[in-house]
Amino acid sequence: MKNKTRNVIIYALLSIWAIIVLFPFYWMILTSIKSYSSYNSEYVPKFIALSPTVENYVTAFTAVPLAKYFFNTIVFTVVTTGMMLVVVVLSAFAFARLDFKGKDLLFSLFLSLMMIPNELVIITNFVTITNLNMRNTFSGLILPSVTSVFYIYLLKENFEQIPENIYKAAKVDGTSDFRYLFRVMIPISKPTIVTITILKVIECWNSYVWPRLITDDQNYFLVSNGIQEIRENGFGRENVPAMMAAVVVISVPLVILFLVFRDKIMEGVARGGTKG
Amino acid sequence: MKKNLTAWLCLLPAILFLGIFMVYPLFDVLVYSFEEGYNFASQSFWGTGIYNYSYVLHDPFFIQALKNTFIIVIITVPLSTGIALLISLELSQIKVLRDFFQTVYFLPYVTNTLAVGLVFMILFKKTAYSDGLISILIQFFGGPSVDFIDGPYAAKMFVMCFYTIWIVMPFKILILTSALASVNEMYYKAAVVDDTPKWRIFYKITLPMISPMVFYLVITGFIGAFKAYSDEVALFGTDLNAAGMNTIVGYVYDMLYGNSGGYPSYASAAALILFAIVFTITTINLMVSRKTVYYQ
């Protein structure tokens, strides 16, 4: 009996937090399918949409360049993640398998860079990019976000777990270093590489500060800046349902990504995420 | 020799990127912060010294930002860690629906802060058409009508902290549930054999075993909360000074860019002050942890 009451309390508390988490999602979807007039006529908002409409989604894509923001974000995410993977894999490979002078010293230097907060270096980067006339270009957006010391560290640890004997055997067979990297090391470390990729994609999709500093031309806005622009100038300010439609459109890709790769993402964040 | 060359070629891209976008800026930010009267257009300055620091420390906007940031830190770090601990403990005691709850709780991590912030704004904001859902709820229970977005400072701070906690919870719950899952069952079984009361099991077994992870969350929580910025923009718009809700990081960016921008020297000084604060707090945290955290 006592156990039963305890269970009820536990489930009740867990449900309260679940509702707090889910409610904003429910509210954005709900508001996005209400028509402009019905939304504004409800002083006490209704919890269901009596006559759902897709007109807001049409407005979201026609009144503001939402598709353009979307396209920009996809380009930014794909190129940044792709370049990051090349840089990270090559460096992790060098640190894990190749011998060269000053390796330990260089690796400690890399590690010490992990302590540098982004806020400290962003000022100079802003000046650098401005002076190079790379404001409002994709290179300006992408280049400073390409390297991540933490991911190099993560992948190096992973590479080092691959037995050295395989490497030696491959050497005897006359396999080149790069062939070995692509045929053996990358396939074996695939789980880690997938984790890194997903974490970087989430980071790119949500990045706001750097794009805001470096772009003021709408043609180069990412979704975060786009939503901010919509909030301040889009839809004549008060068209809340259309705003919510844009919010839904922006949120959906990552939620789908999460539901598909749930375990990978949660495992990856537990290992290497730092948000909060 | 050839091997050396391959290695350096592999490392070349990383070294180039890190050198240009991390190492050089690190020195440059120090230089900027001591260049007085730096002019962005002509890239000239008239002296060196600590004037930038003194300017920033006497700027009312910076004082406001400092105050806001400290309030956010002091409220959200203990609260979010505490609630996350409570939720994780409850999660570890159930089997049915556990996966479902974990999935739901993680959702805020993968959402765009700016986008969901807009939903929070709608829920809390008072407009010509409606008082906003939350305010109507409060009135339903007999409270006053409050505008949380353009209203009194305390109300704005409440939304701010609420949203911050909402955003940081997924990470904390995830870390704590995996920490709880890794506590060896043997200890609990031994305690049950000894007929130990539940609260005693928690204080003597569970808490010490997960204390390194709790502590990790406190440290990263402090660092993260001191860097608060995007969540504020999501709720109150880009002009945070006008809303009186600016943070230190927001102050840095405002000095750098935008209507009040063009002063990289002030921005650098403010960023270094922030770094000094975070560094000090983290050091204190580490010292406290040595006394209180149980490492196996």
Chain B partners within 8 Å of A91 (Cβ):
10-11, 13-14
Q: Has residue A275 got a pLDDT over 50?
A: no
Convert the pLDDT of each residue in A204-233 to its tens digit: 998 999 999 999 888 999 999 988 888 887
Q: Do B119 and A27 touch (CB under 8 A)?
A: yes
* Its pTM surpasses 0.90: yes
The DSSP annotation for B72-102 comes to HHHHHHHHHHHHHHHHHHHHHT--TTHHHHH
Q: Has residue A71 got a pLDDT over 80?
A: yes
pLDDT below 50 — which residues of chain B?
Answer: none
Q: Which CATH architecture has domain A64-270?
A: Orthogonal Bundle (1.10)
* A29 touches B: beta carbon within 8 Å: no
Convert the pLDDT of each residue in A39-66 to its tens digit: 888 878 888 887 888 888 998 888 888 9
Q: Domain segments of chain A: what residues?
A: 64-270
CB atoms within 10 A of CB A244: 26
Place of tokens 């009508």: B145
Q: Do B18 and A43 touch (CB under 8 A)?
A: no
Q: What b-and-e string marks burial along B22-34, b requiring 16 or more CB atoms within 10 Å of the CB?
A: beebeebbeebbb
* Cα angle for residues A211, B166, A67 (degrees, 5° grid): 35
Chain A partners within 8 Å of B7 (Cβ):
94, 98-100, 103
- Tell me which H or E stretch contains B167: helix B153-181
Domains defined along chain B, listed by start: 58-292 (1.10.3720.10)
Model confidence at A276, in pLDDT bands (50, 70, 90)?
very low
Report the distance separating Cα B257 and Cα B239, nearest Å: 12
* B108 touches A: beta carbon within 8 Å: yes
* A134 touches B: beta carbon within 8 Å: no
Place of tokens 């006529």: A41
Q: Do B249 and A27 touch (CB under 8 A)?
A: no
Max Cα distance, chain A (Å):
78
The number of angstroms, rounded, from the C-alpha of A33 to the middle of its chain's C-alpha atoms is 27
Task: Report which residue type is found at A137.
Answer: T
- A-B Cβ pairs (cutoff 8 Å, strict): 261
